[in-house]
């Protein structure tokens, strides 16, 4: 499946290809993002790492790192 993902740290929207039935964890792995450093939101609702990705859009990755 193809997903539209926004990563705030890079301020870009990306299209990511993943196997069907993938989880949030798989997505982060594919994007080479350490789960400790982000929270993931789908439609403004925080989702946990083991959650399966059903929606194809409205996925937001929010950096938790303080900016200075």
Partner 1 sequence: MKKNNCCSKNPVIKLPAGERLCKSHFTKYFEGKVFRTIRQFNLIGKKERIVAALSGGKDSLTLLHILNKLSKQNPRIKVEAITIDEGIKGYREKTLKTAKKFCKKNKIKLNLFSFKKEFGLKLDNMIDVLNEKPCTVCGILRRYLLNKKSKELGFTKLATGHNLDDECQSIMMNQFKNNMQASARLGPISGVNKNKKFVPRIKPLYLCTEKETAIYAYSNNLLDNFTECPNITESYRAEIRNMLNDFEQKFPGTKHSIINSFLQILPELKSGFKEQGLNYCNICQEPASKGKCNACRLLDKIKKVK
Does residue 32 bind partner 1 (CB under 8 A)? no
Interface with partner 1, residue 35, by CB under 8 A: yes
Question: CA–CA separation, 26 vs 11, rounded Å?
Answer: 21
CA angle 50, 56, 57 (to 5 degrees): 105
Q: Does 48 bind partner 1 (CB under 8 A)?
A: yes
2 or 32: CB nearest partner 1: 32
Strand-pair category, 45-47 with 59-63: unpaired
Q: Does 45 bind partner 1 (CB under 8 A)?
A: yes
11 lines the binding site for partner 1 (CB under 8 A)? yes
């Amino acid at each position: 499946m193809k997903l539209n993902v926004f990563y705030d740290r890079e301020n870009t929207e990306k299209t990511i290809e993943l196997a069907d039935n993938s989880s949030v964890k798989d997505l982060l792995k594919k994007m080479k993002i350490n789960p400790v450093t982000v929270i993931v939101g789908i439609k403004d609702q925080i989702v946990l790492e083991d959650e399966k990705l059903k929606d194809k859009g409205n996925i937001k990755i929010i950096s938790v790192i303080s900016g200075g």
